[in-house]
Structure 1
Amino acid sequence: MKILITGGNNAKALKLLKAFPSHFILFADYGDVPGIVTENYAFSSLGVLNKDSIAHILLNYCITESIDSIIPLHSFEVEPIAKSAVLFGEYGIDVVTPHADSVHDYLSTERNNFPNFAVFVKGECIFASGGEIFIKREEEFSGIFGYNSADDDFKLFTV
């Protein structure tokens, strides 16, 4: 499986490598990006940032690069991508965000530096950096969520 993680120029994005050990990760960001390619991951540029057409830019990029799943880490990408999840799905691309109706519940207004993160895909926790075991949630619950301790409210792990 090929996964696109945006915000690739940020060190927080690299933390996600351990959550997907058997997948190829493409770290992408806007503007200049280092040209690094390894067996398990690579870095790539998404071109010039244009916030008015984020979903279009990312969908086009995913199609061109044969991406199976997209994880938007920039906070300005999350809502447009969540709202376009059906369109991405028509091209066989899974969007790893909460449902568009609830995405605002998980966005933080302040910069977050959570020590832990958990990866949920369709309600199932597939990885928790703190080693916790989280119960299955509703089917629409997907995303990378940051937390301090297991009983905290989840907030999206964004850069």
Structure 2
Amino acid sequence: MKILITGGNNSKALKLLKAFPNHFVLLADYGEIPIVTTDKYAFTSLGVLNKESIAHILLNFCITESIDCIIPLHDFEIQPIAKSSVLFGEYGIQVLLPEADNIDEYFKEGNNIYSDFAVFIAGECIFSTNQDLPKTDYKDLNGIFGFDNQDFKLFTI
């Protein structure tokens, strides 16, 4: 699977690499990016930032680069991508975010600093930095979440 993680210039994005050891991860950001390619990951540019058409820019990029899954990390990408997740799905691109109707519950703008993070796909925890994460029902969670004491918020930059 080929995964796109936006905010690739941020150290938080680099932390996510260990969550996807068996997939190719494309770390992307806006503007000039050093082009680096390895067997497991690569850095690339998404071009000039235009917040007004962010969903279109990312969908076009995902189609062009044959992306299977997108993980948006920038605060300004969350709402537009969540609202466009059905369109991404029509092109076979999985959006790793909660449903648009529930996103406000998990979205907190600003500096989100949590001691741990976890990756959930359709409620199933596939990776966590905290091995003591309780095995409870997380059916509403889809995406990357920072957490402290069961307070889950989207892992954003």
Shared fold by TM > 0.5?
yes
Identity %: 63
Normalising by structure 2, we get a TM-score of 0.95
- Residue 14 in structure 1 maps to residue 2 in structure 2: no
Distance (whole Å) between structure 2 residues aligned to residue 59 and residue 19 of structure 1: 23
1:73 aligns to what? 73
Q: Which runs of 5+ in 2 are unaligned?
A: none
1:29 aligns to what? 29
- The residue type paired with residue 137 of structure 1 is Y
Distance (whole Å) between structure 1 residues aligned to residue 40 and residue 110 of structure 2: 32
Q: How many residues align?
A: 156
Distance (whole Å) between structure 2 residues aligned to residue 17 and residue 135 of structure 1: 25
Q: Which runs of 5+ in 1 are unaligned?
A: none
Distance (whole Å) between structure 1 residues aligned to residue 2 and residue 137 of structure 2: 24
CA contact (8 A) 2:75 2:109 kept: no
2:156 aligns to what? 158
2:85 aligns to what? 85
Distance 1:135 1:124, change over 3 A: same
How far off is 1:31 after superposition? 0.4
What are the Cα deviations for residues 44-86 of structure 1, in whole angstroms up to 9, with x where unaligned?
0000000000100000000000000000000110111011010
- SS of 2:151's equivalent in the other structure is coil
Greater shift in the superposed pair: 23-32 or 100-109:
100-109
Distance (whole Å) between structure 2 residues aligned to residue 41 and residue 109 of structure 1: 28
- SS of 1:67's equivalent in the other structure is coil
What is the RMSD of the two structures over their aligned residues, measured on CA atoms?
1.1
Distance (whole Å) between structure 2 residues aligned to residue 96 and residue 136 of structure 1: 18
How far off is 1:153 after superposition? 1.1
Matching of residues 113-128 of structure 1 within 5 Å: 113-128=113-128
What are the Cα deviations for residues 106-133 of structure 1, in whole angstroms up to 9, with x where unaligned?
1113311212100000111100111134
- SS of 2:156's equivalent in the other structure is coil
2:136 aligns to what? 135
How far off is 1:158 after superposition? 0.3
Runs ≥4 residues deviating over 6 A: none
How far off is 1:137 after superposition? 2.3
- SS of 1:130's equivalent in the other structure is coil
- SS of 1:92's equivalent in the other structure is coil
- The residue type paired with residue 135 of structure 1 is T
Distance (whole Å) between structure 2 residues aligned to residue 54 and residue 132 of structure 1: 37
1:99 aligns to what? 99
